[in-house]
Amino acid sequence: MAGLFESAGGGSAAIALDELEVSILRSLEVQMLELIGPGPGGDGGGDPLAALFADGPTEAPADPALARLFPDAYGDPERPADAESEAMAGEFRRYTELDLRARKREDALYVVRALDGLGGGGGVLKTASADCLRWLGALNDLRLTLGVRLEVTEEDEQGLYDLPDADERKPLVMAYLWLGALQESLLEAIAD
Q: How confident is the model at residue 90 (pLDDT cuts 50, 70, 90)?
A: confident
Q: How confident is the model at residue 87 (pLDDT cuts 50, 70, 90)?
A: confident
The answer, yes or no, to whether residue 40 has pLDDT greater than 70, is no
Region 135-155 average pLDDT:
93
Residues 171 and 99: their CA atoms lie apart, in Å, by 32
Give the HSE-up count for residue 110: Cα atoms under 13 Å, Cβ half-sphere. Answer: 19
Q: How confident is the model at residue 163 (pLDDT cuts 50, 70, 90)?
A: confident
Domain boundaries defined on the chain: 5-191
Q: How confident is the model at residue 85 (pLDDT cuts 50, 70, 90)?
A: confident
The answer, yes or no, to whether residue 1 has pLDDT greater than 50, is no
Instruction: Tell me the backbone φ, ψ of residue 16, rounded to 5 degrees.
Output: -95, 120
- Would the pTM of this model clear 0.95, i.e. be above it? no
Mean pLDDT computed over every residue of the chain: 86
Question: 51 in the Ramachandran plot: left (φ > 0), alpha (ψ -120 to 50) or beta?
Answer: alpha
54 vs 82, residue with greater confidence = 82
Condensed to tens digits (0 to 9), the pLDDT of residues 61-74 reads: 889 999 899 887 76
